[in-house]
């Protein structure tokens, strides 16, 4: 019998095995991205060989450990085609909401309401303080949505989906 205080705690191998199973259910696996005689390069990709869609690691174990902590992001990518990169995810969501909001900052906040917590988490994952500042401005509601999208794109080094020049 498992002691109540340890019930539900997985060891590393069990977690990796569970992650393999969850990836398989999505049609994914840890795949060899590049290899040579001295080392390999592993990534999370499609099990059918269509390619990989994450960064690479020097061991299968490291790739599985990353996947274990990022299964929701992998699932969003595979099932809905949403970006895995946290910056791309934040920019896509804010740009979509900005399009719906027009020039109204309060409408932008409302358009993001159901996904705001997820957007904040992914914004923190970018490890970019300026991205956090832009997201704070979204909450204030007094900056035009197109300007916020332009600033986000500039801070992330990504193209602005609205084509708006970033404010200075």
Mean pLDDT of all residues in 152-166:
82
What's the pLDDT band for 23 if we cut at 50, 70, 90?
Answer: very high
pLDDT of residue 4: 46
Q: Is residue 31 part of a domain?
A: yes
Mean pLDDT of all residues in 86-91:
88
Higher pLDDT residue, 10 or 101? Answer: 101
Measured torsion, CA atoms of residues 160, 134, 92, 150, in degrees rounded to the nearest 10 = -10
Which residue segment(s) compose the domain that 31 sits in?
Answer: 12-80
Q: Residues 33, 67: one domain? A: yes
* Final residue before a domain boundary, out of 32, 59, 80: 80
Q: Is residue 45 part of a domain?
A: yes
Q: Residues 129, 149: one domain? A: yes
Q: Is residue 104 part of a domain?
A: yes
What is the average pLDDT value for the chain, to the nearest integer?
A: 84
Q: Residues 75, 94: one domain? A: no
What's the pLDDT band for 51 if we cut at 50, 70, 90?
Answer: confident
pLDDT at 3 over 50: no
Query: How crowded is residue 66: how many other Cβ atoms within 10 Å of its Cβ?
Result: 18
What's the pLDDT band for 14 if we cut at 50, 70, 90?
Answer: very high
Q: Is residue 165 part of a domain?
A: no
Q: Is residue 65 part of a domain?
A: yes
* Final residue before a domain boundary, out of 80, 104, 137: 80
pLDDT tens digits, one per residue of 114-156: 888 888 888 888 889 999 999 999 988 889 999 999 999 999 9
pTM, 2 dp: 0.61
Q: Is residue 4 part of a domain?
A: no
Q: Residues 108, 148: one domain? A: yes
* Final residue before a domain boundary, out of 34, 64, 80: 80
């Amino acid at each position: 019998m498992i002691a109540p205080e340890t019930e539900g705690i997985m060891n590393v191998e069990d977690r990796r095995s569970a992650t393999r199973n969850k990836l398989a259910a999505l049609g994914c696996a840890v795949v060899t991205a590049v290899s040579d005689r001295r080392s390999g390069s592993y990534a999370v990709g499609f099990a059918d060989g269509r390619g990989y869609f994450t960064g690479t690691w020097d061991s299968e174990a490291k790739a599985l450990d990353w996947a274990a902590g990022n299964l929701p992001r992998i699932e969003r990518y595979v099932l809905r085609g949403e970006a895995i990169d946290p910056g791309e995810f934040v920019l896509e969501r804010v740009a979509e909401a900005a399009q719906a909001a027009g020039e109204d900052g309060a409408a932008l906040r409302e358009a993001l309401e159901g996904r705001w917590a997820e957007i904040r988490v992914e914004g923190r994952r970018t490890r970019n303080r300026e991205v956090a500042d832009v997201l704070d401005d979204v909450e204030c509601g007094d900056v035009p949505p197109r300007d916020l999208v332009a600033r986000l794109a500039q801070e992330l080094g990504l193209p602005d989906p609205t084509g708006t020049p970033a404010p200075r």
